[in-house]
Amino acid sequence: MPLLKTLITTNSKCLFPVMAGVGEVLAPLVPDLLGGVRCKLLPPERKDEIISEGYGFDGSSCGFCLVNDSDLVALPDPSTETLVGRYRLFICDVYKAGERSSLDTRFALERAISRLKEHGLDMITGTEVEFYILKRGSSLGVLDSWRYMELVPDASSLPLSTDLMLMAHSKVRVQFTHHEVGPGQFELTLVKDTPRSLADRVILLKWMIRHWISERGLLATFMPKPFIDRPGSGMHIHFSLLRDGKSIMRPEGRSDGKAIFSEEAAAFLAGILEHARALCILTSPTVNSYKRLMPKFGAPIYVCWGIGNRSALARVPKHAAARDRLRIELRAPDPSCNPYLALAGIIIAGLRGLEEGLELPEPVNENVYELKEGELERLPADLGEAIEAAERDLIIREALGPELAEQYLKLKKAECNSYLRVLEQLGEDPASITSWELAEYLERP
């Protein structure tokens, strides 16, 4: 009997050889700095060995470090084990010479959580992950022409999105799914969780969506803005603060305006707004991200907060506040971000506001898209501006640590320079979605 047999699947167009007799493989995922994952596939009998000892990899080829000092080890966290099809997934911690690497983005979030606990606080977080489902081919054809929350009983999109939600729920716990504003655009909202567990589940969710959709001959993209004239895909992050298991978001009694918050919650949000421009390098990290942060498409462009105001950077959902479940929704993050770094930045910026006793400005209730330029501080207009803001604000070094911050910004500068070079060479319109962006972001991170 031949060792290999060829599997040809009509739906997935898969022509890869598959090991005969092998039911599953180990896929211990290493979250890289830019929000993607790297991985070595291993036979299932090595599971105990890999969980105990991990596996070595070249960190310089993944953007972690320089080639002359690049021996890193990926050690799977057994609590993250998830079987998706024939792939047994894990999220890995990154080690160097027997110790956690300071370049491990998961470790950066763990350090931020430790800082939070020093203040006697915990955080509950949630997120809405948006993405487009496209038909494979030379042009970007969308799966359907549905609109926001439409439920059309057709023979393709409805069963596909239903089965996708049920599959994802069985693996990472989904609160709900619905069709988004754009044609072929969907949202999966995850059940709320602690920050690190939520970030783990975002990494797993993106991988399993891509894999599951690809098996059906389609393409799922988490690119923030694949179409210039259609809504972008966000990854709004929701959070509330707790002490001893009880929310500290609201003061005693009911109040309006900024008094809706307790002093601690108000100072925490004030810290996030104070450092919002710098945080964009973590929450909206790509060239393409800033084509999503445009007026009229439901994405934020100004540094402000509001109550029920979806045009603001941060908002308090009215229905949650009315039920004494006060939470804050941050609308700048998009699904191209590294969730560990985004959450670490948010936590440290909030704690800085708490430690400095920053005062929260009054809420903005107007449609900010209709305000005159200069009335409010604007978010960065492009990746270059975001890099400059991050370099001027020490919050990024504080959140990531000096070594990780330096390496991350180095990668971001290289990304920005690569885009500008190609833009000059090809003469494409920077106001459009360029061929470089599609090649770089359509299928990653």
Residue 5 has pLDDT above 80, yes or no: no
Residue 154's pLDDT is what? 82
Domains belonging to the chain, first-starting first, are 22-101 (3.10.20.70), 110-441 (3.30.590.10)
Strand 25-31 to strand 37-39: parallel, antiparallel, or no bridges (unpaired)? Answer: antiparallel
> pLDDT digits over 210-237, tens only?
999 999 999 999 999 999 999 999 999 9
> pLDDT digits over 185-205, tens only?
999 999 999 999 999 999 999
Distances from the Cα of 50 to the Cαs of 28, 42, 92, in angstroms? 9, 9, 10
Do the Cβ atoms of 383 and 412 come closer than 8 Å? Answer: yes
Q: Can you state the percent helix, strand and coil of the chain, rounding each to 5?
A: 40, 25, 40
- R_g of the chain computed on alpha carbons: 22
The mean pLDDT of 369-384, rounded to a whole number, is 94
Q: Please calculate the CA angle 18-23-27 and round it to the nearest 5 degrees.
A: 80
The mean pLDDT of 312-321, rounded to a whole number, is 91
Alpha helices in 174-258 (DSSP H): 195-214
> pLDDT digits over 397-445, tens only?
999 999 999 999 999 999 999 999 999 999 999 999 999 999 999 998 8
Of 247, 14, 201, 218, residue with least CA distance to 106: 201
Query: What CA–CA distance (Å, rounded) separates 222 from 29?
Result: 18
The mean pLDDT of 78-85, rounded to a whole number, is 97
Residue 65 has pLDDT above 50, yes or no: yes
Residue 19 has pLDDT above 50, yes or no: no
* Whole-number average pLDDT of the chain: 93
**Facing residues of 306 across strands?**
315
Identity of residue 299? A
Number of residues in the chain: 445
Of 64, 108, 93, residue with least CA distance to 398: 108
What is the secondary structure of 322-354 as a DSSP string?
HTT---EEE----TTS-HHHHHHHHHHHHHHHH
Query: What CA–CA distance (Å, rounded) separates 128 from 202?
Result: 10
**253 — pLDDT class (breaks 50, 70, 90):** low
**260 — pLDDT class (breaks 50, 70, 90):** very high
**254 — pLDDT class (breaks 50, 70, 90):** low
Query: What CA–CA distance (Å, rounded) separates 356 from 266?
Result: 12
Residues 6+ apart with CB under 8 A from 255: none
Of 287, 297, 132, 284, residue with least CA distance to 222: 132
- The structure tokens 């069709």 sit at 179
Query: Under DSSP, is residue 419 helix (H, G, I), strand (E, B) or coil?
Result: helix
Residue 22's pLDDT is what? 55
The mean pLDDT of 167-176, rounded to a whole number, is 97
> pLDDT digits over 319-360, tens only?
887 777 899 999 999 999 999 999 999 999 999 999 999 999
The mean pLDDT of 89-117, rounded to a whole number, is 98
Residue 137's pLDDT is what? 82
> pLDDT digits over 263-294, tens only?
999 999 999 999 999 999 999 999 999 999 99
Q: Which of 1-15, 30-44, 136-150, 356-370 is the least confident region?
A: 1-15
**4 — pLDDT class (breaks 50, 70, 90):** very low
Residue 152's pLDDT is what? 87
Residue ranges with strand state E in 161-271: 174-179, 185-190, 218-221, 237-243, 246-247
Torsion of CA 349, 232, 204, 63, to 10 degrees: -70
Q: Rounded to an integer, what is the distance from CA 329 to the centroid of its chain? A: 14
Count CB-CB contacts under 10 A for residue 99: 7
What pTM did the predictor assign?
0.94
